[in-house]
């Protein structure tokens, strides 16, 4: 097991020890989740995350995962790590701070720091998020030379939703990003050649100018069924990509929930569609 994974697991065990010592009957529930996803582009996603109560008002999030993509011009294995802390010391407003790492060491990395404020009512919710991101990429070799590129970006997201415990609900989210360089200057055949690998396509997927999503669904006491639509605009060529997904969540037992999602995605100017599926199992205690 790699040392970063070992560190995440060690931190999770330490958090469980703290949680066991400080939790009481009034504390929120804890959740451990396992996620598996795949798509028609030969991509596989694996992940494990924990959402733990630290006493009555604080919560700790830990996550580790990997994305594997196969392609004729090169395979890619991306690791992801997440650690976050949230506090409920402001009544219905929850303040949080999360750090995320995603990438392949020495090839491509995306590091994100995200503070957040979320108001949660009985059914209504409103969330405000800021993102500070550090990007690093290493280009495909030309004449044996690979060019590194580093840049920073910042963004913000706003999310609003109405999700009652029973009946129809909906949520909407908008995100916008700014980069410290004009990415439209990279919309050239030469740069496309530099990124003409599976890795390059993965890098380009992180360079969105804005992302909008909408979901509508119906909740029962022990299940949920919803339809989600997402559109992202590339900051490189300003083309849009649309994703349509159907999501179903249910509780076979009080301590277990299952969520399944499937759908398709398509990019403007392309006749290719990518089908995807994802399933997660969550244990609650």
Predicted local confidence at residue 108, as pLDDT: 82
Instruction: Give the CA distances from residue 108 to residues 16, 46, 90, 150, in Å, rounded to whole numbers and listed in that order.
Output: 32, 19, 38, 10
- Sign of the torsion formed by the C-alpha atoms of 281, 211, 61 and 1: positive
Given pLDDT bands bounded at 50, 70 and 90, which one contains residue 158?
very high
Instruction: Give the CA distances from residue 89 to residues 27, 57, 92, 117, 127, in Å, rounded to whole numbers and listed in that order.
Output: 13, 6, 8, 12, 16
> Stretch 266-278: mean pLDDT, rounded?
89
**45-70 pLDDT, tens digit each:** 999 999 999 988 999 999 999 998 87
Predicted local confidence at residue 149, as pLDDT: 79
**216-241 pLDDT, tens digit each:** 999 999 999 999 999 999 998 888 99
Report percent pLDDT > 70 for the chain.
Answer: 81
């Amino acid at each position: 097991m790699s040392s970063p994974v070992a560190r995440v697991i060690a931190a999770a065990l330490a958090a469980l020890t703290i949680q066991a010592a400080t939790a009481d009957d009034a504390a929120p529930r804890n959740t451990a989740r396992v996620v598996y996803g795949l798509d028609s582009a030969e991509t596989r996603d694996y992940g494990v995350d924990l959402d733990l109560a630290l006493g009555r008002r604080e919560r700790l999030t830990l996550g580790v995962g990997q994305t594997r993509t196969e392609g004729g011009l090169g395979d890619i294995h991306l690791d992801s790590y997440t650690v976050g802390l949230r506090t409920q010391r402001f009544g219905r407003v929850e303040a949080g701070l999360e750090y995320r790492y995603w990438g392949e060491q020495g090839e491509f990395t995306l590091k994100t720091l995200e503070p957040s404020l979320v108001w949660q009512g009985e059914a209504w919710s409103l969330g405000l998020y800021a993102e500070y991101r550090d990007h690093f990429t290493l280009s495909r070799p030309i004449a044996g030379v690979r060019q590194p590129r580093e840049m920073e970006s910042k963004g913000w997201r706003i999310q609003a939703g109405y999700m009652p415990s029973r009946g129809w609900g909906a949520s909407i989210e908008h995100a916008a990003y700014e980069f410290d360089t004009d990415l439209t200057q990279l919309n050239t055949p030469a740069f496309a050649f530099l990124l003409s690998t599976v890795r390059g396509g993965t890098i380009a997927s992180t360079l969105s100018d804005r992302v909008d999503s909408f979901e509508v669904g119906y909740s029962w006491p022990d299940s949920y069924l919803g339809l989600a639509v997402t559109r992202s605009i590339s900051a490189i060529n300003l083309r849009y990509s649309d994703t349509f997904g159907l999501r179903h969540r249910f509780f076979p037992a009080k301590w277990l929930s299952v969520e399944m999602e499937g759908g398709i995605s398509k990019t403007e100017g392309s006749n290719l569609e990518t089908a995807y599926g994802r399933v997660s199992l969550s244990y609650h205690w």
